[in-house]
């Protein structure tokens, strides 16, 4: 008979990795656009990426903090 083994949180680890990569890309675009007057669209594009990624980052940080607090109790 086949046995069921739950995968755990592989999906959330993937979401965290992709989110962090996009946040780094957004930050890089923001910094390049801020210091470069030739391509000002990079600053705007970096801000857009960071705004799109921020809800996921906030959710992941919130879940991590709540998990740590529950472990303390």
For residues 32 and 52, give the distance between their C-alpha atoms in angstroms, rounded to a whole number: 19
pLDDT band at 48 (very low <50, low <70, confident <90, very high): very high
Taking the C-alpha atoms of 16, 21, 26 and 30 in order, what is their torsion angle to the nearest 10 degrees?
A: 120
**C-alpha distances in angstroms, 30 versus 12, 16, 37, 39, 73?**
26, 21, 12, 11, 40
Structure tokens at 69: 């607090």
For residues 57 and 3, give the distance between their C-alpha atoms in angstroms, rounded to a whole number: 35
For residue range 4-22, list pLDDT tens digits in order.
555 555 667 788 888 889 9
Say what the pLDDT of residue 10 is: 61
For residues 60 and 15, give the distance between their C-alpha atoms in angstroms, rounded to a whole number: 9
């Amino acid at each position: 008979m086949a046995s069921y083994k739950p995968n755990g949180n592989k999906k959330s680890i993937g979401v965290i990795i992709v989110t962090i990569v996009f946040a780094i890309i957004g930050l890089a675009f923001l910094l390049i656009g801020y210091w470069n007057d030739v391509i000002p669209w990079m600053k705007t594009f970096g801000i857009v990426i960071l705004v799109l990624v921020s809800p996921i980052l906030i959710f992941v940080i919130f879940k991590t903090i709540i998990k740590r607090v529950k472990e303390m109790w």
